[in-house]
Chains A and B, each alone.
With several copies, the nearest count.
Chain A
Amino acid sequence: MVELVPTLLRQELERLAADNQRIDGRGQWDSRNVSLEVDCLYNAEGSAKVVWGDTIIYAGVKFEIRTPWPDRPTQGSLMCGAELRPVAHRKYEPGPPSPQSIELGRVVDRGIRESGCIDMEKLCIVPGEKVWGVMIDIHVLSDGGNIFDAAGLAAIAALRTAVVPAERFDVGEDHRLLVNGSPIMASFTRAGGRFVYDPSEEEELGGDERIHITLGDEGHLHSLQKGLRGVFTPSEFAEILAVAEQKCTELREMVAEKEGN
C-alpha cells in the first residue's frame, strides 16, 4: 500500500494532544456516536448493523451441521471471519485476505471464543455424528476508523440475537442461540503521543500503535492485541485498561437493550 507519511497530520495531532484536544473535538476517552440495529438481513440467522461514526459494519451469523472432530465428539464449533473488501475504503484492494483482515477476524474471534460465551457442548446434536457449526462473518462497508470495536460489537449482537435454524435441517425446533455473556472490545490508538479511545480515521492515519482489549461481563481480560509500530509502558496500559472497563460496560448495555427480552 502506498502510504505517504502524513507528516502534517502528525504534527497537528501532537499540537492538539499538547492542549488535551482531539481533531474532532472529542475528549481523550470520548466515543463517537454508536448505533446498533439487529435482525436486519433476510437469509442470515442472526444479523447486526453497527454505525460507529463514519464506520459501517454488518455481521451475519449462519449455521451448518458438521461431523464433530473425533477427539471432541460432543463439541460444536465457532468460526469468525472478517473481510476488508474494496467497498469499505479507497485503500483496500481486491485479492486474497490481507494480513489486516485476518488480524481483524482473529482478534474478534478470540474475544468471543475465549470469553466462553458460546458453550461448545450445547452445540451438540448427536454425539459423534452431528454438531452445529456457527459461522460469524463481519462485512465492513465503510471504514471511518476503529473498525475493531465496531466489528466486535456487531458480532456479539448478531450472535446474541441469532436463531438456530433447526427446522430447516430437520433436527428439532428453531430456538435462540444460547450465549452466556457479552464480550466487548475497546480499542486505543496512540495519537499525538498519548493514547485515545475510539480513534477516528485521521487519528489512525497520523497515529502509532493500537491496543485492543476484550473484556467479559466480569471485567476479566479475554483477548489482547497490540498492532502497528510502537511501544508502550505498563503504566500506560494500566490507564487504558481502566477506561476499557467503563466503555465495555456501556456497550454491553446497548447490546442487552437490542435483545428485547
Chain B
Amino acid sequence: MGGYGDVKLLRDDGKRLDGRTVDEMRPVSIEAGVLPAADGSAMVTHGLNVAVAAVYGPMEAHPRKIQRQDRAVIDVRYNMAPFSTGDRIRPGFNRRSREISKVTAEALESVVLVERYPRSKIRVEIEILAAEAGTRCVGITAAAVALADAGIPMRDMIVGVASGKIEDTVVLDLDKAEDNYGQADLPVGILPNTGEIAFLQMDGDLSIEEFNLAMEYNFKAASEIHVLMVDALKRRYERGDN
C-alpha cells in the first residue's frame, strides 16, 4: 500500500471520490462462454477491470512428475496483458504473477472436486485485459464461472472480493486511487454457500477490529457477486453450445 497521507480519498459527505458509500461495490457484469476455443470461459467486468478466464480439461497431466495419483492438479496462469496497465508491461511471467497464480491455483483446488479426476490436469488461464485495482479477485471470480461453464464439478463456487482501508476508514472494493494511496488491502476468496475462505492475502495496516469489519464487507459483496455469477451461467445454458 502506498499509504500517502496527503491524498484525500473521502469527500466531506463521507462518500468516496466516485460517489460510492464505504460498503458499496463498483459495478460488476459477468458473461459465461465467451471464448469458442476453450472448454469453458468467462469474462468479468468489475469497475474498469476486465478479466477473461479460459478452462481446458480435464486432460492428461504431463510431464508425469506433476501428476497426483489421487486427484487432478489445477494449473493456473494469471497474466496481465501488456496494455492492461498505465505503463506497458513486458510480456512474460514476473514474480507477482507467479505468486498470484500459485495461491489462486490452491484456492481453486480447494473447491473443485479434484478427486474425481486422478492423474489429470485442469488448465485455468486468467488474462487481465484492463486493470483498475483488485485484478486478482476479479480473476478468481472469472475462473470460477469458467470452471462451471466447462462443467467441472465444484463443492461450491468461489467469489473474489476485497476490502481495504483509506483515511483510517474501512471500505469495500478499493479502486485504483484508493489502492495507490490507501492503507490496507484485504483480498479474499469466499465460498458463498458454506461461508468458508479459500483465498486470503492482506497487506498494509489493519487493527483486528478493522480486519473484522473488512471481512464483514467482503462477505456481503460475495453474496451480491454470487447472484451475478449464477445469473451469467443461467444465461449461458439458455443460449446453448457455441
Contacts and interface: CB of A to CB of B under 8 A. Distances in A.
Interface of A: 1-5, 41-44, 47, 54, 56, 58, 60-62, 64, 81, 83, 85-90, 94, 96-97, 99-100, 102-103, 105-106, 110, 113-116, 135, 137, 139, 141-144, 168, 201, 209, 211, 216, 218-234, 237, 241
Given A96-B92, A114-B205, 7 more contacts: A43-B131, A85-B127, A87-B35, A106-B95, A137-B83, A231-B110, A232-B197
Contacts of B65: 1-2
A209 B81 contact: no
B181 interface: no
A140 B3 CA distance: 32
A62 B68 CA distance: 41
B171 to A, nearest CB: 17
The number of chain B residues touching the other chain, given as a range, is 35 or more
Contacts of A47: 83
> 8 nearest interchain CB pairs?
A60-B83, A224-B202, A54-B36, A87-B125, A226-B200, A62-B88, A231-B196, A44-B83
B79 A85 contact: yes
Contacts of B109: 229
A42 B36 contact: no
Interface stretch (B6-14, B18-26, B49-57, B223-231): B49-57
B203 interface: yes
12 contacts: A42-B132, A43-B86, A85-B127, A86-B123, A90-B39, A102-B102, A114-B204, A139-B81, A211-B200, A219-B207, A220-B207, A225-B200
B152 interface: no
A229 B86 contact: no
Centre residue among B106, B129, B132, B194 by max chain A CB count within 10 A:
B129
B234 interface: no
A81 B83 CA distance: 11
Contacts of A5: 68-70
Nearest to A105: B95
A85 B125 contact: yes
B101 A99 contact: yes
Nearest to A144: B36
B221 to A, nearest CB: 15
Nearest to A64: B88
A199 B59 CA distance: 27
Contact of A58 (B79, B81, B207, B215): B81
Nearest to B200: A226
Contact of A54 (B37, B96, B106, B203): B37
B99 A103 contact: yes
Interface in B120-160: 123, 125, 127, 129-132
A114 B35 contact: no
